[in-house]
Structure 1
């Protein structure tokens, strides 16, 4: 029986794409002299910053400086991030149906907590897990692991994260991930968790095909979760 839902933050609950792409664009312009439209960086909404800047060609010794500049710039504007329409009602409905709600985001824990406060979502989430400063490079698998362990400690799940991890581990039937990018799919799958990819954020068609299911609206997501309560993952 599915008892808990893990939610990603950026592109799933928060419409943070424009601010993230704006901040990456500014970082690359100021530090690398690369002046491109903000939308050029849309694919970097979701991945850990370490992998994003590496993919952008930043030399490994310089990545930390780019991340520091990005975070300093992002801290000045992230309060402008809006929540997607329907998300508050979505979270309330999911909890009313008996699911525990956990946030699993690659954002730094302190930043994630501030963003959630600004979005007015504190009272709508049971567990909030972000990256720790010394574990940012570990990405989504690490925060999913911590979320599973905290859900167990809080009594929402009978089992925390398993010692055996990887893409070929047995699938779990007690929890599901909701995200918008392949990083959510892969990070959750490391722990045997299936992912529902939402398409209202920054999803990509080729990534949607890799998800267990997709949802185009919050209402459709509620329908999928309701069916899970009735039938499990058998449909």
Structure 2
């Protein structure tokens, strides 16, 4: 039986909230707007960029949202070039990936990042080669659309009942449910347990160390 664990990136694998908020601040300032406080702004993490801008600045036009998304991308590239991008792995992620692989799980990523941003992030941590499928906003609709999860599943060769999405936002949980997959909410990320449960989380993990047992129980129960 092929089993696949599909991870979100920002807020699940890495703690990128501070850098994302900084790049958002640059983008909003360049467009003459005031960025909401970080606690509010980080709730859009996980959406694709245009959708995130629309959520944070609903009064702007579609063209304005697209322009803001491009400014954000440019700001992030500039910050990276200045070595000011901080995307540390959450504590416990490496042991979790090791444990999943030891148990024969395929690993994949489904993220609102761009291909370039995800590649930089995973390569910096020496993780790029560990994932058999990398799905990003460059080639898919924004979460909670199931497209990214379904493509990751196809790459792994697994069935929906044998796939588990691990993510920290309601968008991740919604994606999992739309793809008929199991959903584990990561409580170390950016959405709280109420949002995760409301969006369809089957279980909540307090820490990465909790994920393996939850995932294996879910897949076993579905067999």
TM-score, normalised via structure 2 length: 0.86
Q: 2:43–2:191: 8 Å Cα contact kept in structure 1?
A: no
Structure 2 counterpart of 1:186, from 169, 174, 182: 174
> Which of the numbers 187, 208, 215 marks the counterpart of 1:225?
215
Paired residue for 1:166?
A: none
Show the counterpart of 2:163. Answer: 175
What's the CA shift for 1:119? 2.4
Matched pairs, number: 213
Partner of 1:112: 118
Measured at CA, do residues 77 and 88 of structure 1 come closer, stay the same or move farther in structure 2, by a change above 3 Å?
farther
For the 8 Å contact 1:14–1:81, the answer to whether it is kept is yes
Seen in structure 2, the aligned counterparts of structure 1 residues 226 and 205 have a Cα distance that, compared at 3 Å, is closer
Q: Secondary structure in 1 aligned to 2:119?
A: helix
Q: 1:139 aligns with which of 135, 139, 142?
A: 142
- Whether the aligned pair in 2 keeps the contact of 1:25 and 1:38 (CA below 8 Å) is no
Q: Which runs of 5+ in 2 are unaligned?
A: none
For residues 1-235 of structure 1, what are the structure 2 equivalents within 5 Å?
3-34=3-34, 36-55=36-55, 56-57=57-58, 58-77=60-79, 79-132=85-138, 135=139, 138-140=141-143, 141-152=146-157, 157=158, 159=159, 172-209=160-197, 210-228=200-218, 231-233=220-222
Deviation at 1:63, TM superposition (A): 1.4
RMSD across aligned positions (CA): 2.0
- For residue 128 of structure 1, give the secondary structure of its aligned residue in structure 2: strand
